A and B are shown apart, each in its own frame.
Chain A
Amino acid sequence: MSDAAAVEGKQGATVVPEMMSWDTRTRRVVTIYVPLACFVFILLFPFYWMAITAFKPNNELYNMRDYNPLWISSPTLDHIHHLLFNTAYPSWLLTTMMIAVASTFLSLFAATLAAYAIQRLRFRGSQYVGLAIYLAYLVPPSILFIPLAAMVFKLGLFDSPFALILTYPTFLIPFCTWLLIGYFKSIPYELEECALIDGATRLQILTKITLPLATPGLISAGIFSFTLSWNEFIYALAFIQSSEKKTVPVAILTELVTGDVYQWGALMAGSLLGSLPVAIFYSFFVDYYVSSLTGAVKE
Chain B
Amino acid sequence: MDATASAIAWTRERAQPWWLVRLFDWKPFLIFACMLPAVGLLMVFLTYPLGLGIWLAFTDATIGRDGRWVGLENFIWLAEDPIFWSSVFYSVFYTAVATVGKFGLGLWLALLLNNHIPFKSLLRAIVLLPWIVPTVLSAIAFWWIYDAQFSVISWFVVDVLGLRDTYFDFLGSTWPARWSLIAANIWRGIPFVAITLLAGLQTISPSLYEAALLDGSTGWQRFRYITFPLLLPILAIVMTFSIIFTFTDFQLVYAITRGGPVNSTHLMATLAFQRGIPGGQLAEGAAIAVAMVPFLVFATLFSYFALARRKWQQGESND
Are B24 and A201 in contact, with the CB atoms below 8 A? yes
Instruction: Check: B209 CB closer than 8 A to any chain A CB.
Output: yes
Report the separation of the CA atoms of residues A23 and B180 in the bound assembly, to the nearest whole angstrom: 39
Count of residues in A whose CB is under 8 Å from the partner chain: 107
Number of A-B contacts (CB under 8 A): 331
Which residues from chain B contact A109 at a C-beta distance below 8 Å? 37
**With A170-B46, A252-B136, A297-B199: A185-B315 Cβ-Cβ less than 8 Å:** yes
Instruction: Check: B69 CB closer than 8 A to any chain A CB.
Output: no
Are A111 and B38 in contact, with the CB atoms below 8 A? yes
Other-chain residue from B56, B123, B150, B315 in contact with A40 (beta carbon distance below 8 A): B123
Which residues from chain B contact A198 at a C-beta distance below 8 Å? 10
Are A149 and B250 in contact, with the CB atoms below 8 A? no
Report the separation of the CA atoms of residues A111 and B39 in the bound assembly, to the nearest whole angstrom: 10
Instruction: Check: A3 CB closer than 8 A to any chain B CB.
Output: yes
Chain A 46-61 near chain B by CB (<8 Å), digits 1 or 0: 1101100100000001
Are B202 and A2 in contact, with the CB atoms below 8 A? yes
Considering only residues 290-319 of chain B, those with a C-beta below 8 Å from chain A are 290, 292-293, 296, 299-300, 303, 312-313, 315
Report the separation of the CA atoms of residues A219 and B303 in the bound assembly, to the nearest whole angstrom: 28
Instruction: Check: B108 CB closer than 8 A to any chain A CB.
Output: yes
Q: Tell me, rounded to whole Å, the shortest Cβ–Cβ distance linking A254 to chain B.
A: 10
Interface of B is mostly: helix
Instruction: Check: A242 CB closer than 8 A to any chain B CB.
Output: no
Instruction: Check: A62 CB closer than 8 A to any chain B CB.
Output: yes
Other-chain residue from B34, B145, B155, B240 in contact with A46 (beta carbon distance below 8 A): B145
Chain A 270-299 near chain B by CB (<8 Å), digits 1 or 0: 110011001100110011011001110111
Are B41 and A143 in contact, with the CB atoms below 8 A? no
Report the separation of the CA atoms of residues A5 and B116 in the bound assembly, to the nearest whole angstrom: 9
**With A7-B116, A138-B296: A2-B141 Cβ-Cβ less than 8 Å:** no
Which residues from chain A contact B124 at a C-beta distance below 8 Å? 286, 290
Which residues from chain A contact B277 at a C-beta distance below 8 Å? 145-146, 149, 237-238
Chain A 161-201 near chain B by CB (<8 Å), digits 1 or 0: 00000110110011001000000010000000000001111
Instruction: Check: B27 CB closer than 8 A to any chain A CB.
Output: yes
Instruction: Check: B125 CB closer than 8 A to any chain A CB.
Output: yes
Instruction: Check: B169 CB closer than 8 A to any chain A CB.
Output: no
Most-contacted residue by chain A among B10, B56, B116, B290 (CB, 10 A): B116
Are A143 and B293 in contact, with the CB atoms below 8 A? yes
Instruction: Check: B157 CB closer than 8 A to any chain A CB.
Output: no
Considering only residues 11-62 of chain B, those with a C-beta below 8 Å from chain A are 13-14, 21, 24-25, 27-28, 30-31, 33-35, 37-39, 41-42, 45-46, 48-50, 52-53, 56, 61
Which residues from chain B contact A203 at a C-beta distance below 8 Å? 21, 24-25, 30
CB-nearest residue of chain B to A28: B115
Other-chain residue from B129, B145, B190, B240 in contact with A44 (beta carbon distance below 8 A): B129
Instruction: Check: A81 CB closer than 8 A to any chain B CB.
Output: no
Other-chain residue from A47, A61, A146 in contact with B285 (beta carbon distance below 8 A): A146
Q: Tell me, rounded to whole Å, the shortest Cβ–Cβ distance linking A263 to chain B.
A: 11
Report the separation of the CA atoms of residues A297 and B127 in the bound assembly, to the nearest whole angstrom: 18
Other-chain residue from B28, B109, B144 in contact with A268 (beta carbon distance below 8 A): B144
Report the separation of the CA atoms of residues A271 and B42 in the bound assembly, to the nearest whole angstrom: 32
Q: Tell me, rounded to whole Å, the shortest Cβ–Cβ distance linking B83 to chain A.
A: 17
Are B202 and A1 in contact, with the CB atoms below 8 A? yes
**With A6-B209, A166-B45, A169-B45: A227-B132 Cβ-Cβ less than 8 Å:** yes
**With A36-B112, A230-B134: A139-B127 Cβ-Cβ less than 8 Å:** no
21 A-B residue pairs with CB within 8 Å: A6-B213, A43-B126, A46-B145, A50-B137, A113-B35, A114-B38, A117-B31, A136-B46, A147-B49, A147-B50, A185-B315, A231-B136, A233-B136, A234-B269, A237-B273, A252-B140, A267-B140, A279-B133, A290-B195, A298-B199, A298-B200
